């Protein structure tokens, strides 16, 4: 028997032999990942309608960065049909897989792998997750919006590319470290549609011409710890339309508290987490992400110890046979 929260190491996976297709999230550290709970819940629900999904199994693997190059072909040969990659593997895996989907090409990072007859094919479902999360929680499409994006790391780069591809009108990017901001702005220049304007700014000095009604997206890690500073003083902007914070744990960051105090709609990154996972399972299973997301959302909330108001208990089996 194997529990959804059990952590597997490469040694054990060398002799992995499950009767059905296997899936995993790989990272280091991996203990905190709620992906096994989300995917297992969605698979259990799918199996009620299509019994062959009952043999699909999803686990979490603690894989150090120096072992990833060995782990990827090994898992393919041991019957793994899909992988999710989290910190610190997303960028390294990009150069290890044979084929890259256009969703990941410009980002230079993959978070989802699909087994194909030619080997692993890399995708990035984070951008899809972000836009679907914003739509679900805030009722907003990003097309034609002015967006203030906070951060210049991996998550911000993925978010900026997703925004540019989906018709954002103006993109203002703020980051604490100016050199990282300049690097991101240079990278984005080649991806910018002619109709879109991109401008960087210092979060301590927002430009006077920033319009009111922007959608603010936090892609910094400021807010993960209670002692973190705000990535930007919301009151220093003309009144924004809404705030989306990619952080989901804690559920209310100082930025979201500041949004609430100003009476602005706000949402945390749980919906992004759910939708990037739903898109990954959709790529592996052929089932629409929309049919998978509700069970994944309930399971993620439960795994994070959040209440799920008005929802039935998710069918997250504590234990399943591989
Ligand atoms: P990176 O380490 O690549 O980038 C971190 C970013 O946060 C940098 O821009 C950094 O600025 C900024 N930052 C860090 N500390 C502070 C601070 N105290 N004040 C202001 N800015 C700060 O991380 P990622 O881009 O991978 O992830 C960023 C966040 O997005 C994380 O919180 C992560 O949990 C979240 N995320 C959520 C996902 C979801 O599904 N909901 C998916 C992916 C990410 P500087 O350049 O100045 O150091």
Q: What is the pLDDT of residue 226?
A: 86
Cα distance from N-terminal residue to C-terminal residue, the chain: 7
Residues 6+ apart with CB under 8 A from 190: none
pLDDT(309) > 50: no
Query: Strand ranges (DSSP E) for 89-208?
Result: 99-100, 112-116, 119-123, 146-150, 170-174, 197-201
Output helix, strand, coil percentages for the chain, rounded to the nearest 5.
40, 20, 40
Protein residue with its CA nearest to atom 43 in ligand 1:
155
Query: Do residues 93 and 119 make contact, with C-beta atoms less than 8 angstroms apart?
Result: no
- The predicted model gives 30-57 an average pLDDT of 97
The answer to whether 147 touches 217, Cβ cutoff 8 Å, is: yes
Q: Are 282 and 264 in contact (CB under 8 A)?
A: no
Using one digit for the tens of pLDDT, what is the confidence trace for 202-242? 999 999 999 999 999 999 999 999 899 999 999 999 999 99
Question: pLDDT of 170-196, one tens digit each?
Answer: 999 999 999 999 999 999 999 999 999
In the chain, what percentage of residues exceed pLDDT 70? 94
pLDDT at residue 318 is higher than 90: no
| Residue nearest atom 1 of ligand 1, based on CA coordinates | 153
Beta strands in 97-145 (DSSP E): 99-100, 112-116, 119-123
Distance CA 273, CA 300 (A): 9
Q: What is the pLDDT of residue 312?
A: 52
The pLDDT score that the predictor gives to residue 322 is: 42
Q: Ligand 1 pocket test: which of 107, 221, 268 has the largest number of ligand atoms within 8 Å of its C-beta?
A: 221
Tens-place pLDDT, residues 278-291? 999 999 999 999 99
Q: How confident is the model at residue 306 (pLDDT cuts 50, 70, 90)?
A: confident
Q: State pLDDT tens for residues 127-145.
A: 999 999 999 999 999 999 9
Supply the residue whose CA is at minimum distance from atom 31 of ligand 1.
Answer: 221
The model's pTM: 0.94
List all residues 6 or more positions away from 261 whose beta carbon is below 8 Å from its beta carbon.
none
Evaluate if residue 2 carries a pLDDT over 70. Answer: no
The pLDDT of residue 321 is above 50: no
The residue that leads in pLDDT, 244 or 312, is: 244
Which residue has 């910094």 as its token pair?
Answer: 220
pLDDT of residue 5: 84
pLDDT, mean over the chain: 94
pLDDT for the residue 109? 94
Ligand 1 centre and the CA of 175: distance in Å?
10
């Amino acid at each position: 028997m194997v529990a959804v929260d059990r952590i597997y190491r490469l040694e054990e996976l060398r002799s992995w032999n499950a009767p059905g297709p296997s899936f995993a999230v790989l990272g280091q550290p991996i203990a905190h990942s709620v992906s096994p709970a989300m995917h297992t819940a969605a698979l259990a629900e799918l199996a009620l309608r299509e019994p062959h999904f009952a043999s699909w199994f999803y686990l979490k693997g603690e894989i150090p960065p120096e072992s990833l190059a060995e782990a990827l072909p090994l898992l393919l040969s041991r019957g793994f049909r899909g992988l999710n990659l989290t910190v610190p593997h997303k960028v390294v895996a990009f150069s290890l897989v044979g084929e890259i989907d256009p969703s990941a090409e410009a980002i230079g990072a993959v978070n989802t792998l699909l087994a194909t007859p030619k080997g692993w094919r890399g995708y990035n479902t984070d951008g899809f997750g972000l836009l679907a999360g914003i739509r679900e929680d805030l009722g907003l499409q990003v097309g034609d919006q002015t967006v203030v994006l906070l951060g210049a790391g991996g998550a911000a780069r993925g978010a900026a590319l997703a925004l540019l591809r989906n018709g954002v009108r103006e993109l203002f990017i703020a980051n604490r470290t100016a050199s990282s901001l300049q690097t991101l702005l240079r990278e984005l220049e080649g991806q910018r549609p002619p109709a879109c304007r991109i401008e960087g700014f210092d979060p301590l000095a927002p430009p006077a011409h920033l319009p009111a009604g922007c959608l603010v997206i936090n892609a910094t890690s400021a807010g993960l710890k209670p002692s973190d500073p705000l990535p930007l003083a919301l009151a220093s902007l003309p009144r924004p339309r809404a705030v989306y914070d990619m952080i989901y744990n804690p559920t209310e960051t100082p930025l979201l508290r500041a949004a609430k105090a100003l009476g602005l709609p706000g949402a945390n990154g749980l919906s992004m987490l759910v939708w990037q996972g739903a898109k990954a399972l959709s790529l592996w299973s052929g089932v629409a992400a929309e049919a998978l997301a509700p069970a994944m959302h309930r399971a993620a909330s439960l795994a994070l110890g959040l209440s799920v108001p008005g929802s039935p208990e998710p069918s997250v089996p504590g234990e399943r046979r591989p």
